[in-house]
Amino acid sequence: MNAKANTTRITLIAGIALLFAAIPSGRTQLNGPQHASDFTSTEYYEPPHQQKIKSIMSGAEALPQPGGRLIIKQLKLETFNLDGKLELTVMAPECIYDTLKGVANSPGHLQVRTGDGKILTAGDGFLWRQSDQRLTISNNVCSVIENGATMNTKP
Amino acid sequence: MKGYSLVLIAGLGGLMVHAQTNTPGAPPAPRDPMLIHSDSWDFDLNGHQAIYSRHVRVDDPQMKLTCEQLVADMPPAGGRPNHIVAETNVVIDFMDTKGQTNHATGDKAVYTYQEQGGVTNVTVTLTGDPQPQVVNAQGLQAGDVIIWSRENTNSHIRFIGNYHMVSYQKPGEVMTDTNSPVTVAKTNVPPETVENTNTNTH
């Protein structure tokens, strides 16, 4: 796993760890040492852009599982470009995130929307590989392009 | 993941339909959204590439495309997608400037988009085995390579290599069958033109 992926993974783990420590905002509620709710984890670009947000992951619940895995409910992942513009919003009702391998997957539904909201891709069953930044939807893929999306795709 | 490839397909649809019904200066008429279906979808955020695989189907109000795999590239800096490749059993149904339905088939279709100095160049190139062909009410035309190209509002179709044409007097009735390097389909209304370049491209 490359350094970039490690950075990302560590960031997320750190974010979750912070949640468990109840350091984040008042939204975080601890129901026990292995349960966090309404969490948010922020990832930053690598130097020299370390001040810029690369992505924000949030969820309604994070339930740690054996083997370094987390069950995340109501996942929402937003990615940003270096200009700070929203590129994508990824949403899933539930997924399993393996903090050791840096992968997330679910047999459930996934929805991806571009920053301008004009392009939506959805499907069932997905795998997100953080190390190489690849997202796969394995079933029933449908993309919808709203009118006007052909002119400018910059988020 | 970014779904930029969808925009590429939209561009492909725009190329296929040359008829413009909008009044100059008037806002574009609303269009129904374009839908792309496939069994799976893979997006490379670093490579800015999306791959639709298995039973790919593009449903646009003015164009329909099916294939087994569709690969779309997105410029890293953003902006309009500039390259898309549809492969394996590519079938494109589109309307020309006369509103006539055309049925194009090939093993591979490559869409490219370039914008330089205010000039927009768009091409769709059909290749592969079996030989690509276009069928409409007037007949069938085939060539080793079929290229639709558009520069701003002007567009034309070229058939390159082993040109073959079958004309119909009326739907279903075969009138001629020729392999001669004739100029064909001059009946297409401007600005779209069709030409036959009966040469090998290898």
pLDDT in tens, B103-142: 999 999 998 888 788 887 888 899 999 999 999 988 999 9
Q: Is residue A154 part of a domain?
A: no
The total of structural domains in chain A comes to 1
Of A136 and A152, more confident? A136
A49 lies in some domain: yes
Q: In chain B, what are the domains?
A: 4-18+34-197 (2.60.450.10)
Strands (DSSP E) contained in A22-133 are: 29-32, 35-44, 53-65, 69-80, 86-98, 103-114, 119-129
Q: Do B4 and A146 touch (CB under 8 A)?
A: no
| Tally of residues, chain A | 155
pLDDT bin (cut points 50, 70, 90) of residue B76 is low
Residue B87 — pLDDT band, cuts 50, 70, 90?
very high
| A135, A145, A152 member nearest B1 (Cβ) | A135
Distance from CA of B105 to the nearest CA of A (A): 23
The CATH number linked to A27 is 2.60.450.10
> Before B33, cis peptide (omega within 30)?
no
Shortest Cα–Cα distance, A38 to chain B (Å):
25
Is the per-residue pLDDT at B3 higher than 50? no
Residues A81-100: b if buried by 16+ CB within 10 A, e if exposed? beeeebbbbbebebbebbbe
Q: Is residue A151 part of a domain?
A: no
Residues B45, B77 contacting (CB under 8 angstroms): no
Residue A129: inside a domain: yes
**Would the CB atoms of B6 and A134 count as touching at under 8 Å?**
no
Bridge-based pairing state of the strands B192-197 and B154-160: parallel
Beta carbons of B43 and A135 less than 8 Å apart: yes
Whether A67 is covered by a domain: the verdict is yes
Residue A153 to residue B78, Cβ atoms within 8 A: yes
A interface with B, Cβ–Cβ < 8 A, is 79, 81, 87-88, 90, 112-114, 119-121, 123, 132-155
Choose among A119, A136, A145: nearest Cβ to B40: A136
* B3/A112 CB distance under 8 A: yes
* pLDDT of residue B186 exceeding 50: no
Residue A150 is assigned to a structural domain of this protein = no
Q: Is B40 in Cβ contact with A135 (below 8 Å)?
A: no
What's the rounded Cα separation, in Å, for the pair B178 and B31? 40
φ and ψ of B26, to 5 deg: -85, 150
Answer whether residue A84 is part of any domain.
yes
User: Domain range spanning residue A131?
Assistant: 3-145
Q: What is the pLDDT of residue B84?
A: 85
Average pLDDT, chain B: 73
Cβ distance of A139 and B32 shorter than 8 Å: no
pTM of the model: 0.73
Which of B9, B40, B53 would best serve as a mutation to test chain A binding (most A beta carbons within 10 A)?
B40
Phi (first) and psi of residue B38, to 5 degrees = -160, 165
In a domain, A13, yes or no: yes
